[in-house]
């Protein structure tokens, strides 16, 4: 979703029982589904999610500015 459409080489075979095309959507971006996963699956509330973001546990950028 960030870079737009692009062609990629694929597996050089076609499976008769499989879908005609694989990978119909782009891969998710870092942190794209944090809210859904953390609230719906793990049951965290908004305050807990905000604390995780402040602590650098979750985010949408690699490294979050921390020296690991």
Block mean pLDDT (10 aa), the chain, length 68: 73 71 77 95 96 91 59
* Cα atoms found within 13 Å of the Cα of residue 7, Cβ hemisphere only: 1
Q: What is the pLDDT of residue 16?
A: 75
pTM, whole model, 2 decimals?
A: 0.60
d(CA 68, CA 65): 9
d(CA 51, CA 32): 17
């Amino acid at each position: 979703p960030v870079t737009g459409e692009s062609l990629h080489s694929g597996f050089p075979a076609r499976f008769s029982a499989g879908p005609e095309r694989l990978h119909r959507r782009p891969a998710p971006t870092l942190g794209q589904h944090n809210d859904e996963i953390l609230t719906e699956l793990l049951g965290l509330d908004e305050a807990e999610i905000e604390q995780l973001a402040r602590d650098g546990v979750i985010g949408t950028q690699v490294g979050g500015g921390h020296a690991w």
